[in-house]
Structure 1
Amino acid sequence: MYEGPVQDLIDELGRLPGVGPKSAQRIAFHLLGTEPADLQRLIQVLQRVKEGVVFCDLCGNVSEEPRCRICRDARRDPSTLCVVEEPKDVLAVERTREFKGRYHVLGGALDPLSGIGPDQLRVRELLARISGEEVTEVILATDPNTEGEATATYLARMLRDFPNLTVTRLASGLPMGGDLEFADELTLGRALSGRRAV
């Protein structure tokens, strides 16, 4: 335990996701040793993010304007929607350079134990988009964990009633460069069931 502001800084940093007590302490002492100009730049960036970044009113991605650059891009295919949990997932899909459609960010995944149900996610907005736009395919790109699978299953059930709508799920299986002997049973099983012709 440190005194006053130092401990307060460590405590606040420790509240960030993925930052444990030791990491929070290291970051705090790094900031204490930082030049005032560098620290001021960090403060200004944090302030600009808090004041200037909003969520896109259509897809829910982070943006500096009411509509994000992807939703404003007329070259994107409006008939295909990729449904992701968080804005960081949009970046992950974009890095592949394979997807040319648009996105819908749910703002999380179903997690009843944490009190997150469909009403806490952007499910109503997704259904409204599908009803009002010329969407022909929805790709469920939620995380391959318990919450992500539950969310994908729930959405698949909700979207069954839309005629002429194809609902797909990202394939899951073996990573490139991996060895079969190190794959767990669930991953290997999904790779087998999701196999495709070559």
Structure 2
Amino acid sequence: FPQDESKSFGVISWGAAAAVLAKATKVIVKTPHEAMGVPTKEANASGLRATKQLTSMLKDQSFTEIPAVIAESNIIMQEMRCILGKVEELGKGDFAIGTVAAFEAGIIDIPFAPSRFNAGKVMPARDNSGAVRLLEIGNIPFTKDLRDFHREKLEQRAAFENRPVSFQMVIDDVYAIGKGFLVGRPK
């Protein structure tokens, strides 16, 4: 996360815009002090105000008819069905019980989450257009087609950057935002 406050608000606004345009029902709000430790209540309030501003500005916008958005939505729906189908199976129809079991089995796994209940086996990297893909899928029950899709997208980026698909992409992407970029490209 950028240490510069102005750059931080750019990242906060980008996240808010993505959430609103995707018609998300929940937005994770960041603060301009994210890179420096525990934020103050004032920093939390600033992050909330910036997010609310973007939410208000974009609430009536729709990007759902764009072919690339439709294609990405279809992938996300397939991924969701794989995960929730397994959650339902583990819980024998009870999603609450299934969710607990899914976390224990690494079926639900959140990259970089500090929780001891999270498996931490999933590793994201951005594809050549900046979309988040999975370098390591862990125990998420994706179909072979979905696994191949993620791999192919990362291989396209690797070819463009003339490097192998590797964990270095994850590292580069983590640092990219703080440097003002979406995708961590090698120099």
TM-score bin, normalised by smaller chain: under 0.3
Q: TM-score, normalised by structure 1?
A: 0.25
Greater share of residues in helix: 2
Q: TM-score, normalised by structure 2?
A: 0.26
Work out which of the two has the higher radius of gyration on C-alpha atoms and give 1 or 2. 1
The structure showing larger relative contact order (alpha-carbon pairs under 8 Å, at least 6 residues apart) is 2
